[in-house]
Structure 1
Amino acid sequence: MTERPNMETRTILRVIVCDNDIRKIVLPLKPQTVDSLLEQLEEKLGLQYKFTLQFEDPDFNNSLVNLTDIADLPDKPTLKIVSLVTTPTPSTADTEILSVASDDPCHSLRTAWPETFEIPNFPVDVEYRLRQGNLQYMRDQTYLQLSGELKHEILEKLSETIYSYKAYPNKEDFEAVAAALIKKHPCLTQPGSSKGWNGWYDSLRWKMGNYRSKLRRAGCLEVSINGGKRRGQQPQRNVKRPKRFEINFLPNFPDGEDEASMESKRKEMVEEMKKRRLNSALIAQNMNSTFALRRKELIEKEPAVKNTVERWPALFTNGQKSNVNARRTAVLHGLPLLLGEDPTDFYKTCFDCDSNEDMLDTAIGIMTVIPEDSPTVPYSLHLDATTTAIILEGTVVVDNLENVPQAMCLLFGLIYALNLEYPAALKSTFDFLQRVILSLGHKSLKPKIQSLKKSPNAVMFFHG
């Protein structure tokens, strides 16, 4: 006779896999550690990626908090899955998919060209010689005498970094890199040239051609598909180069994947799309991992749209179109956490039927109002809000705003117009938004703001 689990020891969980996939999970035994809970959820949910957990903490009005101690979990908790590898959300644009970068340039998915190109760190011996050269330049304006080996090392690293953004940079891109190089390392300024970097500009263009040739011989699809257009060889069909702003134009297959494995995932998605209740997490994950196969088909075969709809039906769903306001809202909510601040008293959420008593003690904040019958999601990130409002001294001063990013922009204007102070609990967050995002004020930054500035993710996502 099978023994039934003790009702007092079992655990009931509400798990948010993604916005469109929220499940009730019953565990027969209460986990004793966070690792044990992770293992059981991985098995129950059938997740194929590494993840961590957040939970709605009743001590902070059910705001999401990272789960580090199993004892912090309340009864019947609400948990959220947070991926540590490929983002399993259905809000990724097909041409802007982001992933964990690989050391192999042929398998890396690139990001957009930065507003300001940052010169990378060179090998230790090169950095040492450049540091000595810069010191000598500051003392007596003496330029560094470059050896062929040293110049090769510099150009090789710069070409690798440029390729992480663009396979075919344009004239302005090369100029930006050359100018940034002598700005960071003035000892590399070339006397006699009109701008000080003209020779570096020519060398970078030549080096990038060599770098693409090396990758072409290694089998990188993005550059090999354009091979043969010179030296009288027969080119491969009339394949265009990436248009402006197109990134990840034709990436190679990820490590450990081949055409057969991706085709299997594609078929799995086609079958899943026929169901009435879709497994959104599975579709999002497979769409991300089959990106290279999909691009290969579209670029090389140029199929009719009808055929593409049949082979990739999930591509034409709303879930596969990016929402820039969703990304900006997520960044605005996550920024205080990165800076070690608590946004609980600033970001407020309520139902449209609630009273306004909760905001009476709010000195400054943003209120998101959602319908009473809304699906249960992390309220502060709800994208189907009835309205968004700005609260000052317990009073709604601006109402009927479309989203949190718009409210934040208007709030900055009100703070200036009314001569208000930044919220004390979010002073670093507002300083970051002012000095880094809006580029207002002096350039001297606090250490933790400077550290976050060097990581481009928050700024890149804020700008969409």
Structure 2
Amino acid sequence: MSATLRVIFGVDDASKLILPNGIPNSIEDLKGEIVRHFGLSGNFRLQYRDIDFDNEFVNLTDTSEIKDKSTVKVINLPDETITLTLTNVTQEEDDFLLSSASDTDILSSAESTSSGTSLRSQPWPTNFEIPPFSYEVQIQLEKAKQAFCSSGTLLTTSNKLRSDILDGLAAEIIKYKVYPSSTELDNVAQALITKYPFLKEKGSVTGFYGWKISLKYKMANYRTRLRSIGCPELSINAVKEKQGATSHGPNQVKKPRKAEVNYCPDYPAGETKESLEEERKALILEVKKKNNQQLIKSKMERTFAYRRQEVVKDMPFIAEFKNRWPALFSESQVNAEFTLITTVPLFSTFMSRLDHYSSQLLRVFKKKGGTARRDIDVIIAEMDKNPSVEVRRTCILKALCVYLNEKPDSLIKEYWATEDIGIDAMTEMERLALGVYIVRHDGADASDPPEDVGVVIEGCTVLRDLREVANGCAVLFGLIYCLNLSYPKELRYTFEFLQKVFMELDGNKLSTKVQVLKNKLHE
């Protein structure tokens, strides 16, 4: 009998966990289910609400203490000393690992990742906060405020004062992104005249249009200055870089296009390309060892900026990149990499939003007419045969493609084989540019659990044994960010919906088709 748990990860962060086979018999099995569904990594313990102590949280020691609809809380634990997990290593290896383990405590902190201050910690704010300006500027603004309060006089700014204000705004904007959109510049300019109403422009309908245009040019000048001092996010678009490029046109600007917060960060303080290349080589050796996931995680954090610059600048083939960075191609590391890029956790967000919107999506799907409705009915019928959460998620994702006038076969490829994937199937997979594949043995029902679920990119199987289709779709979505890939044209609306509605990344600017669907979800 299935069971449902409420899992708390932190303040204002909780998700629903559906257990098709009921509550596991052991704590380890339950933790394994939580790791699988939400993509957690690291060491943690579980707590539950104990009725003997007024429903306060206490440590969970036996799964018999919880039942259907119970609430459990995830408590992250400090990493254990890495020497406890290592056996049969040489003294030199042991000294090296102990040194790396000491770094891990620092690198895992919220304030300081492996990339130090080079990584941004938050996306563009909902309400842009105007920063404090220089002392000289603040004196002039304070006098203008007094004049405005007493007589309503608007301030006519001098060129120097206007330039100083724009410099302060540009320095604040750059903390979030170097290429703000027109809408974001509107937000900044509007926030400026809201905080300082005496800066409104008399001849402007909005009161801030001139400030927006000035800010646009100020940002262009600011980018030029940062490019000249070697900011990697801007130097990739320098003329000499583009002249040496062969895979993209000279006018193509490499910049965040899918709400990436850390698109092309600088190397960590004290690190060079050569030192990080040595870390990469050491990382390849660590992948071949057992029981050192935490060491691998710390090294992947340390080399994040190096890896991003390689992906963005060189745009390597996937097979080549997988050989250079094998540690990236695991569920836990894709989740970690995606979080570094966007500041949003991948699996917990993807699965919780998919489950949250399922009922609303089904309601909207049933109102669709024509051929699309017939195709959706065929897909949804699988849920009647097998009402498990895995099948439900798969059906929702397939029906979403159909609703958006895209083919689910472009996203999810299904193969049937008697013993293994046949030659024809292998050949077809090698031609697959991007997608999730399912392997079922001949004679199995479409609603039965698949033998294998994996992800293929550029004909290369980058991940396998992903258990369920929704998990495969989440991994594929994460890898698109990790590898700086564009959405395939035949699935651009499906991926836009996943990004902007499910993951809420750049959700203020939607295509007409996705906006209409989003509106219907909230009717």
**TM-score, with length taken from structure 2:** 0.43
**TM-score, with length taken from structure 1:** 0.49
Give the helix-richer structure, 1 or 2.
Answer: 2
